[in-house]
Structure formats: C-alpha cells, structure tokens
Structure 1
Amino acid sequence: MSNIGMILEEKAANIGNFLVGRLLPFREKRSVGPFVFIDHMGPVYMKDYQNLDVPPHPHIGLSTLTYLFEGSIFHRDSIGSAVEIKPGAVNWMTAGKGVVHSERTPEHLRHADKSLHGFQIWVGLPKHLEQEEPSFHHTEAENIPTWKDGDIAYKLIAGEVFGRKSPVPVHSKLFFIEIKSSSEQTISIGNDLFGEAAMYVLDGTVTIEGNNYGSKQLLIAKNAKLCEFTIAANSTVYLFGGAPFDEPRYIYWNFVSSDKETIENAKRNWTDQNLEAFPKVPGDEQDFVPLPQPNRG
C-alpha cells in the first residue's frame, strides 16, 4: 500500500506584482502539521524598471517564514524591523495579535536587472499564543545548521530533527529541511520525522515506491514514519511538517486564527485603519493594501 496520501501540483496565484506557485492551502489539504500556507515565488526575472512592491499589509495568528534562493527583499514591519533578506537567510516574523509589514526590492537594486526566487511560508501559532505581542527574528545564512552525509547535503531551515535544532525561534514542534544530492541516493528518514509530513520537489526527481515525481509537485505522506525515497542526481527537495494542532485554523486573506470572530475583528480593524490594532510601518507609511472584498460574481 502506498504511503503517498496525496499528490498536489503547484498552482498559479496572483499576489499583485507577479504570479507565484501556491503549494498550500489546497481544497483537498488545508495544512501540513502547523504549516498553513506556502508560496513558491519565481524564479522571476525583472528588468531595471521592474520591482517587487508589496505595500504594508496586516497579519494575525501566524509566523511568516521567508527563505530566498535568489535575489533580495527589503522587509519593514510595524515593530520597527528593517532588514534586507538575502539568499539562505531566514526571516521569521510572528504576528501574534497583529503586525503590519511591507516587502519591496531594496533601494540598491531598484534600477538594476534582478531575479527573485524563494519561499513565502505561514506557520500557524498554538492557540495560547495567537494573541501574543508580535516579534521578529532574522537568522543569517551562516547560522542555519548544514551538514553532509556523503553526496547528500542537508540544511535545517527551521525546527528540530535529526538531533539538530535551527536557531529560528519556532513556537511548535515542526521541521523544514532542504535536501540536495549530487548523485542518486536512497534516503530513509521516517524514524526521525513526526506528525504530518510533505515533500516539495524543487529541482530534479524523486522515486517513491517505483513512481517518479518531478519538480513543482507536492507529495503528502500518509505516515511520516514511513518516509523513504530515492533522490536523483542534482535534485533538491524540501521536507516540512510537524505536529498538527488540535483545532482547525481559519484563513481569510492574511489573517489566521482558531477563532472566526477574531478574524472578523481583524477585518474591521484593518478596514478602519485602527492604529492600536495595526500600527504604521516606520519608513513605509504612505500606502497600504486594502482588505479584499469577497467576489460576489
């Protein structure tokens, strides 16, 4: 019997400036462990007159994880953080009861040809932390745990697994791992995983139970403990998951919560531009993304 419970194809989603490949949520699968939203950005190539500009927008009830392969994003938030995200670094912003942030091309790249490629991820918060004060943590690339086992290179972007722990300050039991191999290898790591698990094939192919799976496919395991696969030479995959929450998480736009009324309050506060709930972003105060209206067509 196959351990693959679901195979999902990356689907296009419009985030304003350009299309991204949405991995989660899908109608058939709303979350994997605490992971409730994953976008694969790019690769997109922009001319000197094209830039990423996502104006200030709000979040509640989640942590955002930004991880780039190529390019650069300048992050500002209502806590006062202002940092350039470069490839291999991890931006971890915990919204808690409410935070506002913007994501733009850095000034030094705004008049140059450039590329952008990476992940934008939302991780739900445990119920008792959904109303905590917002916080921000930036981890440089050199501080992310990396190791090799023969031709296989591992990187523990977030969480704790294999007896190792990423310095990214997560709030629940989870893992987010990059695996690259320069030769064909069979990897059996089920005994190290826990909760729910999924694999995203970024480059190359993997073989599971005699079937080949290529790039832009998301494979969701029925049982993380049975996770075994053969990775082709020059392939890159990402394994993510962890312990699921006891309660469902509701999502409306950028708001995540175990309580629907909390989301309704957030919608009202953002529409009213309630600065107590959603303060301005220092250095980026002139613009904001309005609350989207439901499509009644």
Structure 2
Amino acid sequence: MSNVGLILEEKAADIGNFLVGRLLPFRQKRHVGPFVFIDHMGPTKLKDYENLDVGPHPHIGLSTLTYLFEGAVMHRDSLGTKLEIKPGAVNWMTAGKGVVHSERTPDYLRVTEKTMHGLQIWVALPKELEDIEPSFVHVSEDKLPTWSDENAQYRLIAGKFREHESAVPVYSPLYLIEIKAENDFNLSIGKDLYGESALYVLEGEIVDGGETYGTKQLLVAKDAKLCEFEMKAGTTVYIFGGDALPEERFIFWNFVSSSSEKIEKAKQDWINHKFPKVPEDDDYVPIPPAQINARPSGGEKKD
C-alpha cells in the first residue's frame, strides 16, 4: 500500500526575469512542517547577456534557505552582508521583524554564459520568534554532514536526522535531506523522521506502492513514520519536513506571519520605504500592483 497522500506537480512561477518551478505552497497543501515555500530554480542556461537579478525585496517572519546545484548568486542584505553562494553551501537568512535582500549574478559572470540551478526555501519561524532581530549565516559545504552506504550518498542540509545535525541554525525541529542513489535499492527511513514529511524527486524515479514517480514531482506522505520506497539508480531526492507549527501562517508576497495585522503593517512599511536599505544596491522591488489589495493566503485555524 502506498504512503503517498498527495502528489503535486511542479508548477511554473515568474520571479522577475527568471522562471522557476514552484513546489510549495499549493492550494491542496500550504506547508509541510514549518516549510511554507519552495522554488526550484532551473536548470537554466543563461546567455552572456542574461542574468539573475532579483532586486532588494523585504521579508518578515521566516528564514530563507538557498542551496545551489549549479551556478553562483551574490547575496546582499540590509545587515550589510555581501557574500557569494556557490553549489553545496547554504545561505540561511532569518528575517525576523524585517530584512531586505537582493540576489544577483556575480559581476564576474555577468558577461559569460552560465547555468543557474538550485532551491530557494522559506521556513516559518515559531510565533514567539517572529519578531527577533534579523541575522545571516553562511554554512560552507564541508560543514554539512555527509555519509554513504553501499547504495546511496546522503547529505543533511538542515536540521536533525538520526545522529546527524546540520550547522544551519534552525529554530524548530525539521530536516532537509539530500539522497543520491548509486544503485536500485529500497530506502526505509520512516522510523527516523518526525512530524510532517514530503519528498521531491529532482531527477530519476522512485517506486512506492507499485506506482512510479519521476522528475519534478512532490509527494506528501500520509505518515512520515511509514516512509519507505524504492529508489532507482541515478535518482536524487530531497526529503523535508518536521514538526508542524501550532498556528497556521498567513502568506502575502514575501511576508509570512501568524498575524494578518503584521503582514498589513509590513506591506505599508515597504510601500512607504520604511524598511532598511541594502548597501551597494539601491534598487527597489515594488509590490506587484495586482497584489496590493489582495488578502494574505492561509491563516485558517487547525482542527
């Protein structure tokens, strides 16, 4: 019997001049554990005149996690951070009460052909930490736990799993695990998972309950403790989840909060240029006109 409770196909989304595949949120599933938003960027081949340019934009109430497979991104934020992220490392920015950042192709790559490929993830903060001071942490590739067995290679990008703990300073119990299969094998890790759990197939195929699932499919488990499936050789999956937060979250544009009033204040503060500035990047990304009067999504009470 399959443990797959929901099958979601990656859907296209536009982030300025870059098309991405959106994994969360979906109408059928607003979040998995504390994970409220996941974009799959690329893989995209960019010409020498094409670049990633996401100008300064604000966040509240969440932490962002950037993880690249290919390419490079220059991160700048209102804390004064200026740092290039490359494949295998993690950028972890906690917005708390409010932060502004930009993400652009580094200067040395702006006139060459390049590839962009990676994940952009939002993790909601616990209610009592939504208004903490913003912060930024860069975790290099060698600080992420990795291990292997005769069938697969594993990397713990964030959180805790078995005896492993990532150096990414998360604020609630969660996990984000990369698994690359070298051979066909049956993977059984449910006893080590907790909370809600989902699986994204980056490439290759998995088989669960006699059904085959492939690239760009997101599978949400009925029960994380029953997470068992067959991985085909050459397959890469990302298993993520954790303890669900007690309260639902409102999401509007780049803001996440347990309070719609806080989101409305953040909206007005951004419109009135009351957020801090990003040094060396004085661009400004306005709230899309079509969203100005939109109501935040989510916010329903749990049963």
- The corresponding residue for 1:75 is 75
Which deviations, in whole Å up to 9, do the C-alpha atoms of 1:136-175 show, x marking residues without a partner? 0000111111000112100000000111000000000000
CA root-mean-square deviation: 1.1
Asked if 1:288 is matched to 2:284, the reply is yes
Query: In structure 2, what is the equivalent of residue 259 of structure 1?
Result: 259
* Residue type at the aligned position of 1:61: G
Question: What residue number does 1:15 align with?
Answer: 15
What is the letter of the counterpart of residue 289 of structure 1?
V
Other structure's SS at 1:142 match? helix
Task: Summarize the alignment of residues 1-297 of structure 1 with structure 2, pairs less than 5 Å apart.
Answer: 1-274=1-274, 278-285=275-282, 287-294=283-290
**Pairwise CA distance, 1:294:** 3.0
Counterpart of 1:60 in structure 2: which amino acid? I
SS across alignment from 1:266: helix
In the aligned structure 2, how far is the partner of 1:4 from the partner of 1:124? 24
Mapped partners of 2:51, 2:202: distance in 1: 24
Aligned mates of 1:30, 1:167 — CA distance in 2 = 27
Cα distance in 2 for residues equivalent to 1:200 and 1:125? 22
CA distance in 2, matches of 1:126, 1:292: 28
Question: For residues 216-247 of structure 1, what are the alpha-carbon distances to aligned partners after superposition, in whole Å with 9 as ceiling and x for unaligned?
Answer: 00000010000001000011000000000100
Q: Please state how far the C-alpha of 1:283 moved relative to its aligned partner.
A: 1.2
**Counterpart Cα distance in 1 of 2:200 and 2:191:** 19
The residue that corresponds to 2:300 in the other structure is: none
Shift of 1:86: 0.0
Superposed displacement of residue 91, structure 1:
0.2
In structure 2, how many angstroms separate the alpha carbons of the residues matched to 1:130 and 1:158? 19
Amino acid at match of 1:248: E
Q: Aligned letter for 2:11?
A: K
Post-superposition Cα deviations, 1:179-216, rounded to whole Å, max 9, x if no partner, equal: 00111010100000000000000010000011100000
For the residue of structure 2 that corresponds to 1:256, the secondary structure is: strand
Q: Secondary structure at the match of 2:30?
A: coil
In the alignment, the residues of structure 2 paired with residue 49 and residue 9 of structure 1 have an alpha-carbon distance, to the nearest angstrom, of: 31
Amino acid at match of 2:120: Q
Question: Could you tell me how far apart the structure 2 residues matched to 1:293 and 1:242 are?
Answer: 35
Amino acid across the alignment from 2:141: A
| Per-residue deviation, 1:82 | 0.6
Q: Identity percentage over the alignment?
A: 63
Q: Secondary structure at the match of 1:294?
A: helix
**Using the alignment, how far apart are the partners of 1:266 and 1:241 within structure 2?**
27
Q: Structure 2: which 5+ runs fail to align?
A: 295-303
Report the residue type matching 1:280 in the other structure.
K
In the TM superposition, what is the alpha-carbon distance from 1:2 to its structure 2 partner?
A: 3.1
| Unaligned segments of structure 1, at least 5 residues | none
How many correspondences in the alignment?
293
Give the residue type in structure 2 aligned to 1:221: A
| 2:221 alignment partner AA | A
| 2:301 alignment counterpart | none
Counterpart-to-counterpart distance in 2, 1:74 and 1:280: 16
TM-score by length of 2: 0.95
Deviations 1:247-274 (A, max 9, x none): 0000000000000000000000000001
1:95-119 Cα deviation digits (max 9, x unpaired): 0000000000001101111010000
